[in-house]
């Protein structure tokens, strides 16, 4: 922190500013498992490594089947980010011991969710909420492998496809399970799930899904999958438009290809009814009130799930949800605000404290790149990055000091241009691997001033500063932006004229999708992808659907584009990681956009009678909750509700 800097002066000007921010700061990111248990809409994510090449995989019969031929797994595991510690005898953290062997089947899990789903059809709903609900009933061909005792790192495991092989770089052949049957109610009437359902689902995805441009080449020439066709009743072939490293991850991703029955086209209305073949059935749904799921007795993995079901009342009001949790009427509280963790645990010491995995999202500060813009100059963008005091920002918004005071592990990690949640491929800006660009991440007002002077702005830059303040990115987002503004203005670097554009009519069309054709600086969110490639391509490649760099100079940065293209087409895992790391080092020197500062350890609390809680850890908490929920069980011996 700089002497006499922004924070010191602002502390004098507005005594309670930081406290107010602390109070307002909600738990951000990193509550993947909590979200899985609660179904909350938190901005959750898990650690992962980059996607592995397909090679050849066969199911071992369980949901956590071994994945063969995935070089780099060891490297990935070793690189799990620091904020994922294991419990020790003196640790306040819950033990991550797999108790499946003594699991007693039965009972209904009591969770909650904060929001209703737009509808129940994951392939045609224009909202991702349907994917979260659909994940319980409609499996995908492949699924992410849960981490057991450690965060999931993006390995894949069999889903509806029990095995697969990749005979050519652009061909993937998947062998489907023969013991999967649809819901026994009409019109599916318990018939076997087969390749026709896969083809039907793919065609519907291409026609209707809001995510189709990420995956379907017919809707976007940069998307990887050209076609999915049936070889026979239980074999399908995925043809890629080009060799694509994260192909398996894309098929496992919870926002993409759920397998739905052909009968959903006219036989029943999939928007408000379900006929699935996943681990759960939706037994009772009342719009804006509750979801009740029950175990599917015909699920293709025998003896799973352990629980008979789970109930998710919809509780949008935080105080109500917290009260229900404290009264033991709900068993896990994924949306617990980080500033409430310590006090709640202190009041109710029986609660289990779980350290969340890190988020994989990486929001950005980006620039107007019109001709003559000062941000066309690398030095100005680097100065912006240097004016951000990352540690202070993270400490403020992640409750770090309070956790440390309470004796909880609380580590701070900085994002590079890849989120620090992508263990194994993320390069730590505090380490040496990022090279000379690492200096651009360090808080250094003096150096920033020198850079601005060298760029021809000795008196700083007077420009516009845009962010939305209407809640689409969460209520905390404007506070993030307010703090950035203070930091950029501090020390005379920038004089910013704040503009809060309307999200729909101005921000999305002119700023977010404006390809840099605006004046000044803007701050924006990013979404979750199955692999780091999705994020890199979407935001940093000049052909990316959300790119914010192409307007710069002669159509963007050719080296960045070429590195992004090279990594996505590289099937050798280690070579691919090397390219992504090279891209991060290059980005650190260029700062085409400035990534958000980073994140710190976050926590969730659970009642102790949830067996296996915190042990099986989903890769994608929001939309792949089925991967871990079926491993939970009710430990009656610990129940005090």
Burial of 332 (0-12, 13-18, 19+ CB in 10 A): buried
Of the two residues 509 and 553, which places its CB atom closer to other proteins in the complex?
509
Count of helix runs (H) and strand runs (E) in the chain: 19, 24
Question: Measured from the CB of residue 535, what is the shortest distance to other proteins in angstroms?
Answer: 14
- Half-sphere exposure of 519 toward its Cβ, with a 13 Å CA cutoff? 9
Q: Which is nearer to other proteins, 265 or 347 (CB)?
A: 347
The CA-to-CA distance between both ends of the chain, in Å, stands at 47
Q: Which is nearer to other proteins, 16 or 286 (CB)?
A: 286
Alpha carbons 267 and 246: distance in angstroms, whole number: 35
Q: How far is the CB of 504 from other proteins (least distance, A)?
A: 4
Nearest distance, CB of residue 464 and other proteins, angstroms = 21
**For residue 296, which of 309, 285, 313 has the smallest C-alpha distance?**
309
Q: Nearer to other proteins by C-beta: 290 or 337?
A: 290
Closer Cβ to other proteins, 201 or 274, answer by number: 274
CB 344 to other proteins: min, Å: 10
d(CA 38, CA 446): 46
The nearest distance, CB 530 to other proteins, in angstroms, is 15
Shortest distance, position 522 Cβ to other proteins, whole Å? 14
**139, 298 contact by CB (below 8 A):** no
Least distance from other proteins to the Cβ atom of residue 455, Å: 32
> Which pair of tokens denotes residue 480?
């993030």
Min dist CB 117 to other proteins, Å, is: 8
Least spacing, CB of residue 570 vs other proteins, in Å:
26
CA distance 38 to 52: 30
C-beta of 351 vs 423, nearer to other proteins: 351
Angle at 66 between CA 64 and CA 72, to 5 degrees: 115
Of all helices (H) and strands (E), which one includes residue 252? helix 247-252
Question: Please, which residue, 313 or 597, has the CB nearer to other proteins?
Answer: 313
**Closest separation in Å from C-beta 256 to other proteins:** 12
What is residue 619's DSSP assignment? S
Q: Cα–Cα distance between 387 and 435 in angstroms, integer? A: 19
- Residue with smaller CB distance to other proteins, 43 or 356: 43
The least CB distance from residue 340 to other proteins, in Å, is 11
Task: Map residue 547 onto helix, strand or coil.
Answer: coil
* Complex with other proteins: residue 524 or 597, whichever CB lies closer: 524
Token digits of residue 166: 């990749």
Q: Which residue has the tokens 């990022």?
A: 434
Q: Identify the CA nearest to 540 among candidates 597, 577, 499, 588.
A: 588
Nearer to other proteins, 10 or 219 (CB): 219
Measured distance CA(358)–CA(598) in Å, rounded = 10
Residue nearer to other proteins on the CB measure, 285 or 583: 285
CA atoms within 13 A on the CB side of 430: 11
Which residues, 6 or more positions from 31, have their beta carbon under 8 angstroms from its beta carbon? 40, 42, 44, 334, 335, 356, 602, 604, 621
CB atoms within 10 A of CB 288: 9
CB of 524 to other proteins, least distance (A): 9
Residues binding other proteins (CB under 8 A):
116, 118-120, 125-127, 207-208, 210-213, 219, 269, 271-272, 286-290, 311, 313-317, 319-320, 322-324, 326-330, 347-348, 472, 502, 504-505, 508-509, 512-513, 527, 545-546
Write phi, then psi, for 374 (nearest 5 degrees).
-65, -20
Per the DSSP assignment, residues forming a β-bridge with 295 are 280
The DSSP symbol for 503 reads I
Nearer Cβ to other proteins (275/304): 275
């Amino acid at each position: 922190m700089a002497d006499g800097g922004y924070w010191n002066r602002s502390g004098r000007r507005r005594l309670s500013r930081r406290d107010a921010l602390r109070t307002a700061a909600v738990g951000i990111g990193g509550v993947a498992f909590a979200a899985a248990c609660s179904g909350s809409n938190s901005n959750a994510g898990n650690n992962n490594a980059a996607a592995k090449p397909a090679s050849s995989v066969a199911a071992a019969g369980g949901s956590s089947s071994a994945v063969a031929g995935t070089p780099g797994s060891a490297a990935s595991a070793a690189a799990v980010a620091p904020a994922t510690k294991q419990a020790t005898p003196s640790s306040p953290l819950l033990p991550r011991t797999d108790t499946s062997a003594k699991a007693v089947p039965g009972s209904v899990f009591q969770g909650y969710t904060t929001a209703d789903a737009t509808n129940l059809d994951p392939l045609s709903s224009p909202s991702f909420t349907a994917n979260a609900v659909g994940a319980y009933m409609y499996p995908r061909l492949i699924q992410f492998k849960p981490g057991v005792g450690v965060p999931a790192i993006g390995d894949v495991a069999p889903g509806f496809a029990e095995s697969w092989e990749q005979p050519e770089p652009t061909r993937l052949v998947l062998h489907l399970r023969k013991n999967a049957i649809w819901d026994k109610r009409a019109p599916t009437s318990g018939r076997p799930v087969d390749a026709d359902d896969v083809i039907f689902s793919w065609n519907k995805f291409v026609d209707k899904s809001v995510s189709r441009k990420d995956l379907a080449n017919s809707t976007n020439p940069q998307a990887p999958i050209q076609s999915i066709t049936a070889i026979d009743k239980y074999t399908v072939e995925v043809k890629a438009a080009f060799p694509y490293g994260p192909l398996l991850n894309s098929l496992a991703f919870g926002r993409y290809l759920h397998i739905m029955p052909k009968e959903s086209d006219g036989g029943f209305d999939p928007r408000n009814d379900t006929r699935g073949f996943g681990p759960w059935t939706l037994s009772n749904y009342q719009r804006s009130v509750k979801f009740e799921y029950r175990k599917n007795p015909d699920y293709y993995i025998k003896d799973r799930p352990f629980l008979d079901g789970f109930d998710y009342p919809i509780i949008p009001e935080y105080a109500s949800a917290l009260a229900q949790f404290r009264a033991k009427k709900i068993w896990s509280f994924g949306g617990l605000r980080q500033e409430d963790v310590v006090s709640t645990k202190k009041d109710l010491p029986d609660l289990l404290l779980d350290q969340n995995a890190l988020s994989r999202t990486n929001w950005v500060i980006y620039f107007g790149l019109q001709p003559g813009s000062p941000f066309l100059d690398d030095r100005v963008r680097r100065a912006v990055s240097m004016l951000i005091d990352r540690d202070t920002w993270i400490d403020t918004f992640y409750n770090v000091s309070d956790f440390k005071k309470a004796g909880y592990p609380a580590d701070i990690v900085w994002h590079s241009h890849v989120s620090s949640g992508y263990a194994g491929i993320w390069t730590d800006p505090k380490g040496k691997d990022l090279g000379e660009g690492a200096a651009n991440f360090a808080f250094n007002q003096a150096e920033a001033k020198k850079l601005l002077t060298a760029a021809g702005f000795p008196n700083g830059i007077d420009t516009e500063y845009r962010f939305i303040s209407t809640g689409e990115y969460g209520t905390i987002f404007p506070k993030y932006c307010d703090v950035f503004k203070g930091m950029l203005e501090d020390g005379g670097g920038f004089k910013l004229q704040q503009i809060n554009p309307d999200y729909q009519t101005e921000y999305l069309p002119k700023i977010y999708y404006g390809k840099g054709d605006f004046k000044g600086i803007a701050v924006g969110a990013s979404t979750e992808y199955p692999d780091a490639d999705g994020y890199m391509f979407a935001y940093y490649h000049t052909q990316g659907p959300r790119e914010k760099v192409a307007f710069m100079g002669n159509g963007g940065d050719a080296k960045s584009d070429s590195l992004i293209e090279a990594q996505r087409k590289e099937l050798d895992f280690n070579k691919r990681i090397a390219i992504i790391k090279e891209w991060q080092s290059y980005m650190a020197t260029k700062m085409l956009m400035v990534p958000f500062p980073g994140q710190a350890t976050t926590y969730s609390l659970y009642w102790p009678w949830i067996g296996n809680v915190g042990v099986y850890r989903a890769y994608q908490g929001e939309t792949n909750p089925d991967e871990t929920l079926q491993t939970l069980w009710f430990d009656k011996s610990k129940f005090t509700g």
